[in-house]
Amino acid sequence: MTKVNRNPGCDNSPKNKMVEDIAVALETGDTHFMSALLDSGTVWHDAGSGEILGEDILSKLRGQCQHDVLTIDQAISHDKVGAVNGQARRGKTGQRFCHVIEFTSAKCHKIRRVESYRG
């Protein structure tokens, strides 16, 4: 099971918490959480895998490698867009990530597009 170190600043903003929750789900392969936010038009552009559409996103999440520790550095949101960055560690190896999330509306109920970068 992945230990998640969340950003304490997200407690003050429901939107920031939502984008943080999405980043955690993307990094840990939480298909249950993500299935409620996706529809057939959702696009995930993962810099390492190319574009993934709709239900295929859940298939990709099922194959995710599990991390030992996930640390969220920043989570921000404005209108229909949010971004989260942090680090995923497995053993002694760490990888930085950033997810930019666009919602279908400012209420953040459904995801239109995710752009993911790792390095």
Query: Could you read off the pLDDT of 85-108 as tens digits, one per residue?
Result: 999 999 889 999 999 999 999 988
pLDDT bin (cut points 50, 70, 90) of residue 67 is confident
Domain that holds residue 22: 3-118
Question: Residue 9: what pLDDT?
Answer: 77
Instruction: Enumerate the β-bridge partners of residue 76.
Output: 83
Who contacts 81 (Cβ-Cβ below 8 Å, separation ≥6)?
100, 101, 102, 103
CB 86 within 8 A of CB 23: yes
Closest CA to 86 of 22, 33, 11: 22
What's the CATH code of the domain at 83? 3.10.450.50
d(CA 58, CA 30): 9
What is the SS3 assignment for 115? Answer: strand
**Model-level pTM?**
0.93
Percentage with pLDDT > 90 across the chain = 73
Number of domains in the chain: 1
How far is Cα of residue 72 from the mean position of the Cα atoms in its chain? Answer: 11
